[in-house]
Structure 1
Amino acid sequence: MAGGAPPAPGALLCALLWAAAAAPAPGGGPGGSPAPGAFGRLYRGAVNISAERLYAFAYRSQPGQVDAVRVYVNSSSENLQYPVLFVVRQQKGVLSWQVPLIFRGLYQRTYNYQEVSRTLCPSEPAPETGPSEQIIFVDVASMAPFNIAYELLVTRLESFQLETNKPFNFTASPSQPQYFLYKFPQDVDSVIIKVVSDAVYPCSVVSVQDIVCPVYDLDHNVEFNGVYQSMTKQAAITVQRKDFPGEQFFVVFVIKPEDYACGGSVPSSIHGNVNRTWNLQRTKNLQVTIVPSIKRSVYIQAMFFSFLSFLSFYLGSVVVAFVHYISSDVELTGSFGSVLVAGSGIMTSSHPITSSTPEGSSYGAIGTSSSSGGRQLSSPERGPPAGSDTDSSVEEESDFDTMPEIESDKNVIRTKVFLYLSDLSRKDRRIVSKKYKIYFWNIITIAVFYALPVIQLVITYQTVVNVTGNQDICYYNFLCAHPLGVLSAFNNILSNVGHTLLGFLFLLIVLRRDILHRRAMEMKDDYGIPKHFGLFYAMGIALMMEGVLSACYHVCPNYSNFQFDTSFMYMIAGLCMLKLYQTRHPDINASAYSAYASFAVVICLAVLGVVFGKNGMWFWVIFSMIHVLASLALSTQIYYMGRFKIDLGIFRRAAMVLYTDCIQQCSRPMYMLSNVSSPLSPLSAIFGLVYRPRDFASYILGIFICNLLLYLAFYIIMKLRSSEKLLPIPLFCIVATAVVWAAALYFFFQTLSSWEETPAESREKNRPCILLGFFDDHDVWHFLSAAALFFSFLVLLTLDDDLDTVRRDKIPVF
C-alpha cells in the first residue's frame, strides 16, 4: 500500500497530490473506480492523505419491499487531529461521519467512540417502476500523513419493519443508534409505541419521525424532527395515522452520552476526554412493541359514562325533591327531602312554633326569654321586611357596632362560660347576609381573573408541545394518554367534568333552600341556626372552578403550573372551615377580603415552597415560624370570640393571661374549639422541618385538610354530646363522605407521574388505563374526589337541620 511516508514540502507536495489523485485508488479499478463490495463481509485496510478507499455495494430492490442497509466501521486510532472520514452516497442522499466520533456533554465534556454503526435511509421503489438496481458507495479517507487502520462491514437488515403487537429486542449505544420502520395497518388509526428496558441507565431518547432523509439519529440532532421523549426504563408515544401522510414513520432510538438529562450522575472528570471504560458501558438493551390504541367508539363511551354518572346525581336530587313534596303534608321537619333540597325551616300558620314566637321578634334578635337578657337590635319598624336582603335602605353593620354600649355588651356576653346561639346572633340578619354574600361575588371575580390567564397559558404550552414535538415538557401518564384534537391527554381533562356538574348542582340545591328559607322568614321566627347562604354559594363556585383549573393543569401538567390544580382546593378547605365556625358563631364573621387575602398568602407560600423548599433549610425554618405564629393568632381570636386585639399591647396581655391561667391558677379552657388544633400546628411544623416533603403544595393542602377534618369531627362529637340529633340525610351524607373519600384517597396515592422528577423518571411510574380502557387511576381520583367534595358540602349544609324547631337560647355554642 503506497503513500506511507509524509509528503514533501512545496512543489513536491503538490506533485504528489496530483499523482495520488490521478493514480488508481487502492482496492479500486483504474482511474479511481470503486472496488465492488459484498454484504456481510468485513473489510480491513488503512488510509492516509494520499490513499483512500472506495467501495460499491449493489443490490436489487423490489416494489413493496423496504431494503435497509447498515454500515459498521471501526478504527483503533484515537487521534482527534486526523480522524477517519466515512462518506456514504446513495441515490437520494449522502451520509457522513468521522471516527473517533465526538459527542459534547455537560460542562464541555467530550465523549469519543471508535466504533460507529449507522442505518442508511432506505429507499422504496414505486410499484409502477418495477424492480430497480440500487448502488451504495462508501468512501473511506483521512488527512493523516500516516496510515490509519479501519474496519468496514455493510449488511442488509432482515428485521427493519416493526409489526403490530410483536415485541422486538435490540441493542443501541451513543455511536450505534437504531431506527425502524412501521406502517399503519388498514384498520388501525392510532397506535401506542411502548419501549421498555431492564436497566435504568444509560439515558436514551425515543423519537418518531416522518419518512424523510436524512434521519436524525444522533444525540445532537435527534430533537430536530418529529416527536421525542427521554427514557430510563420505559417510554410510550401515541401516534395517529392522520399525522403522517404516507401512513408510515420511523421509530428512532438514541442513547445519550451522559445521564444528566434523565436525572443520573455525570462523570467526575470535568475537563478533557472521558475514559474508555465509561463509553463501553453506554450500551442499552431495549424492547419495542407497537399496539393499536383505542377506537373512536371508546371516546364516545367514555364521554357518555362521565356525563351520565354525574347527571344521575341530578336525577337523585329530583327524586328527593319529589319525595319531599309528597311527604311534606305529613312530616315537615324529619322528611328525607326537606333536609337535602328544601330545608326544614318552612313554617305555616298552623305550625306550633309560629304560635309560640314572641311578638315583634325578628331573626337574629334576642327575645324576651333569651338567656342573655340583651336588648333587641332590630325590629320590623326600623326597616323593610325581614325577607328583603337586597333593599338599599338596609342599615350597615357600622350603624350598630360603632356605639360604645354595644361594644361593651359584646365584651360582657362573649366572656360568659356557657354561651348560647342567641348570645352570638344579635346582629341584623340582613346586614350579616350581605356580608356573607361578598364571599360569593368576590370568588366569582377571583375565578374570572385567575382562569383567563391560566387558559391562555396552557394553550400556549400545548401549542409548544405540538409544534416542537418535545414530550418532556408535560408530565402525562403516557401509557394512558388519549389525544383528541390538539389536546394530548383528553381523558385527564374529561374526568374533571364531575367537579363542574356537581358544583352547579350544589348551587341549585343551595338556591332552592335559600328561596324556601326566605319565604319562611316572613314569619319572623327565632328558631334554629341562622341560615346565611353566601358561603355556600362561594363553595359551589369554588368546586366548579376546581374542575376548570384542574382540567387546565392537566392540559400540560408540569413544574410551572402545579398551583392551578391546588389553588381552589385551598379555598374550598378554608371556606368549609369558615362555614363550620360561622354556624355557631353567626356574628363573628371574618371579612371576605381578609379571608381571600389569607388564601393568597397561602398560595404564595406554596409557590415559594416548591421553588426553595427542596434544599433550603432556611425556608423551612421561616415557614414553620410563620405557620406556628399564624395558628396561634387564629386560635387566640377564636378563643376570645373576636374580641382580642392584635396591637403593640398583645405581648403584655399574653403574659398576663399566661400568668393568671397557667401559673396563678390552673383553669380549664372556657371554649374547646380554639384548642382542638393547637397540638396540630407544632406537630406539622416539626414534621416539615425533619422530613422536608418534596411535594410542598400537597403538604400545605394536607395541613388544611387535617384541620378541617379535626374541626368537623369535633363539631359532630359536641353536637351529639349536646343531645342533638343527626337526621337521616346528614347521616347518609357523612357515611357517603367517609366511604367515597377513602376510595378517592386510595387512587390519589397511586402515583402515575411526578413533576418533581425528570420526565424520564416520571415515566417510570406510568401505568395502563384501568377504567373503560380510557381512564387511569388519577382520572378515577377526579371522579371520586368530586363526589366526595359534593357529599362533604351536603354535610355542612344539612348537619344542623334538626335544630330548625329549637329556640336559639337553647342551642349551645361550641
Structure 2
Amino acid sequence: MEGTRQMMGQKASLGCAIPRFVWFLLLILIALVQPSWSITSNGGGSLAHQFDTLYNGNVTEGQEIQYVFQVRDGMNKSVAVRVEVSSSEAQETYPVMFVVTQQEGIMSWKLPFEIISVHKYDTVARTLCPMNFGEKPVNDVVIRVTCASPNATDYSLIVTVVNDFEMELSTRHTVMASPSQPQYYYFKFPEAVEAVQVRGHSNDKICATISVQEATCPVFDLLRNVEFIGKYQTLTTQSSIIVQKRDFQEFFIVLVVHPGDTKCSELKQGLSLGDEDLPNFGYEVDRIKNVTINIIKTASGYTYWFSTTLIVLFYMIFYVIYGLILLIQCCRRNEEATEARERRQQGKADSLEIREGGGTLIAQSHPCLWLIWRRILMKSNLQSTSCIGGTSFL
C-alpha cells in the first residue's frame, strides 16, 4: 500500500511540474518572437508636453516617438495650435513621418515635404483645426514620429499657440507664409454686419492664393486642394474678396504660397514648362511672403441690387416723361396743322362765295360783263388748282 501511495504521489507531483515547465517554455518563446516595435513617450515620462518648447530627437526603424499636448477649453476658435517640424537628415527613401491625432480628425505629412513631386522642403508648419470641446474641458493632441530608416534620423518639433488667430473687423493683420508653411485665420461676422471685403496687400510679387472657406474641418490649406471649396483668388500685390453673411456665418482666411510664379503670370516666358513644374535638386529655400490682411465692412448684395434697381427706375421714369412730352408736342402740332387747314378751307369758301355773289349781281345788271367775269373766275381757279397740285406733288 505504501509503495502504491508513493508512486501515486510521484505521478501527481510530475503532473503538477509539467504545466509549470510548459508555461516557462511559452514565456521564453514569447520573449523571443515578440515584435521589436517600441513606443516611447518623449519628455522624461511627463503626461503632457509643453507648448513653445523645442523638442529635438532621433528616430529609427521600429520606433515610434509620441508627444502629447493638452489643449484646454478657452483655446477654441480664438486661439489655435500650430505644429512646426524639421529634419536635416530625412531622405526620400526613408522619410520621417509625422501623424497628428486630434478630436475630429487626423493630419499627417512627411519630411522631406514635396510639392508637385519636384519641390522639396525640410521644414513644415501646419495649423491644427480648432476643436469643439462641448462638455469636455481638455482635449489631447497626440503627435507620433516614425521612420523606416535603419539609421537614426534627426528631427525637431515645436508646438506653439497662435494667440491672434481670430481676426477683427477693420484691423490690419500681417501674415507670413511659405510653400511648406501655409497660414489661415478665423473670422466671425458681427451681428450688425451683413457683408465684408477681405483685402490682401503685399509689397513683394511672390505668387500666392488667398482663399475664404467655411469654418469647418478639415481646412484645405495645401496647394493641391486650396481651390476645392469656398472662394479664392491668386495674389501678387493686391486681392479682394467679397463675403456675405448669408454664405458664411464664420470663415477661415487661408494663405498658400506657390513654389513658382506661373500661376499668377499670364504669359510663360522662356520654357514651355511653368516655374512650378521645373525640376529641382536638393532642398529649396522657402519663398517667404508677407501679406497684410484687412477685413472691412461693405455693402451687402441686397444693397447693391437695391441701388442698381433704383438707378434703372430713375432712368426709366426719365425716358417715360420725355416720351410723354414728345407725344404731347406731336399732338399739339397735329391739332394746329388741322386748324390751319380748316382755316384755309374756310377762307377759300368765303372768297368763292364773295366772287360768286358779285358775279350774280353783275350777271343781272350787265350780261356781257357777266361772261367776262366768268372767264376771269375760271382762269383764277385753274391757276390756284395748278399751284395746289404742284405743292402737294413736291
Tell me how far 1:292 sits from its aligned partner: 2.0
Contact in 2 for aligned 1:88/1:137 (Cα 8 Å):
yes
Matches within 5 A, 1:391-790: 525-526=393-394
Distance, in Å, in 2 between the alignment partners of 1:133 and 1:300 is 49
Residue pair 1:44, 1:150 contacting (<8 A) in 2 also = yes
* Counterpart residue number, 2:263: 261
Separation in structure 1 between the aligned mates of residue 189 and residue 276 of structure 2, nearest angstrom:
46
Q: Check if 1:273 corresponds to 2:301.
A: no
Q: Which amino acid aligns with 1:207?
A: S
Structure 1 residue 146: deviation in Å?
0.8
Change (3 A) 1:348 1:144: farther
Distance 1:18 1:78, change over 3 A: closer
Answer whether contact 1:67 1:124 (CA < 8 A) is retained. Answer: no
Tell me, yes or no, if structure 1 residue 50 matches structure 2 residue 57.
no
Given candidates 298, 311, 318, the residue that maps to 1:305 is: 311
- 8 Å Cα contact 1:25-1:52 kept in structure 2: yes
Counterpart-to-counterpart distance in 2, 1:87 and 1:55:
10
Letter in 2 for 1:157: V
1:285 to 276, 281, 290: 290
Deviation at residue 186 of structure 1 after TM alignment: 0.7
Deviation of 1:213 after TM superposition, in Å, equals 1.6
CA distance in 1, matches of 2:224, 2:35: 37
State the distance in 1 between where 2:69 and 2:172 align.
31
Q: Which residue of 1 aligns with 2:216?
A: 212
CA distance in 1, matches of 2:276, 2:232: 29
The C-alpha deviation readout for 1:111-148, integer Å capped at 9, x for no partner, is 0011110000011334xx3x701211111111111111
Match for 2:280: what amino acid? N
> CA–CA distance in 2 between the matches of 1:169 and 1:252?
13
**More strand by percentage:** 2
- Residue 328 of structure 2 aligns to a residue whose secondary structure is helix
d(CA) in 2 for partners of 1:235 and 1:271?
Answer: 27
* Greater share of residues in helix: 1
Pairwise CA distance, 1:233: 2.0
Give the structure 2 partner of residue 97 of structure 1: 109
Match of 2:66, SS state, is: strand
Tell me the residue number matched to 1:18: 35
1:133 is aligned to 2:138:
yes
Q: How many angstroms apart in 1 are the aligned matches of 2:165 and 2:115? A: 26
Match of 1:148 in 2: 153
**Identical aligned residues as a percent:** 30
Could you say which structure has the larger radius of gyration?
2
For the Cα contact (< 8 Å) 1:17–1:50, is it kept in 2? no
Does 1:27 find its partner at 2:78?
no
Alignment match of 1:190 (pick from 192, 195, 212): 195
| Residue 128 of structure 2, aligned match among 96, 120, 125 | 120
Say if 2:182 and 2:222, in contact at 8 Å, map to a contact too.
yes
In the alignment, what sits opposite 1:161? 166
Letter in 1 for 2:261: D
Change (3 A) 1:274 1:219: farther
Amino acid across the alignment from 2:103: Q
Contact 2:79 2:164 in 1 (8 A): no
1:178 Cα deviation from its structure 2 partner: 0.6
What SS does structure 1 have at the residue aligned with 2:63? coil
Alpha-carbon distance between aligned partners in 2 of 1:224 and 1:119, rounded to the nearest angstrom? 19
SS in structure 2 at match of 1:322: helix
Deviation per CA, 1:447-493, whole angstroms, max 9, x where unpaired? xxxxxxxxxxxxxxxxxxxxxxxxxxxxxxxxxxxxxxxxxxxxxxx
Distance 1:239 1:271 in 2: 36
Determine the structure 2 residue equivalent to 1:429: none
CA distance in 2 between partners of 1:46 and 1:100 (Å) = 15
Whole-Å Cα distance in 2 between the matches of residues 268 and 251 of structure 1?
26
SS in 2 for 1:224: coil
The amino acid across from 2:195 in the alignment is S
**Distance between the aligned counterparts of 2:159 and 2:103, measured in 1?**
17
**Is contact 1:192-1:236 (8 Å) kept?**
yes
User: Over residues 379-412 of structure 1, what are the superposed CA-to-partner deviations in whole Å (9 max), with x where a residue is unaligned?
Assistant: xxxxxxxxxxxxxxxxxxxxxxxxxxxxxxxxxx
Distance 1:91 1:18 in 2: 29
The count of residues paired between Structure 1 and Structure 2 equals 318
CA distance 1:304–1:268, shift in 2 (3 Å)? closer
d(CA) in 2 for partners of 1:180, 1:146? 39
Aligned to 1:321, the other structure's residue is in SS state helix
Q: For each residue in 1:14-59, what CA deviation from the matched residue of structure 2 results, as whole angstroms up to 9, or x when unmatched?
A: 96982343xx626267xxx776311001111111113332111113
| Mapped partners of 1:63, 1:69: distance in 2 | 9
How much has 1:64 moved relative to structure 2?
Answer: 6.9
Closer, same or farther: CA 179–357 of 1 in aligned 2, 3 Å: farther
Q: Which residue of 2 aligns with 1:658?
A: none
Q: State the AA in 2 paired with 1:311.
A: I
Task: Find the partner of 1:225 among 221, 225, 229.
Answer: 229
Aligned-pair CA distance for 1:171: 0.7
- Separation in 1, partners of 2:341, 2:305: 52
Amino acid at match of 1:41: T
Amino acid at match of 2:155: Y
SS at 1:188's partner residue? coil
- CA spacing shift, 1:93–1:305, aligned 2, 3 Å: same
Equivalent AA in structure 2 for residue 220 of structure 1: R
Residue identity in the other structure for 1:258: G
CA RMSD of aligned residues (A): 3.3
SS in 2 for 1:306: helix
Distance 2:66 2:96 in 1: 13
Aligned equivalent of 2:251, options 249, 253, 265: 249
Contact 1:66/1:124, CA 8 A, preserved across alignment: no
Q: Which runs of 5+ in 1 are unaligned?
A: 1-13, 333-346, 360-522, 527-814
Q: Distance in 1 between matches of 2:77 and 2:90?
A: 39
Distance 1:240 1:183 in 2: 11
- Counterpart Cα distance in 2 of 1:257 and 1:57: 32
CA distance in 1, matches of 2:231, 2:331: 59
For 2:157 and 2:41, how far apart are their aligned partners in 1?
Answer: 15
> Can you list the C-alpha shifts for 1:211-238, whole angstroms capped at 9, x where unaligned?
2222111111212222222222222222
The answer (yes or no) to whether the contact 1:82–1:142 under 8 Å persists in 2 is yes
Q: TM-score, normalised by structure 1?
A: 0.36
Paired residue secondary structure (1:319): helix
CA deviation map 1:593-621 (0-9, x unaligned): xxxxxxxxxxxxxxxxxxxxxxxxxxxxx
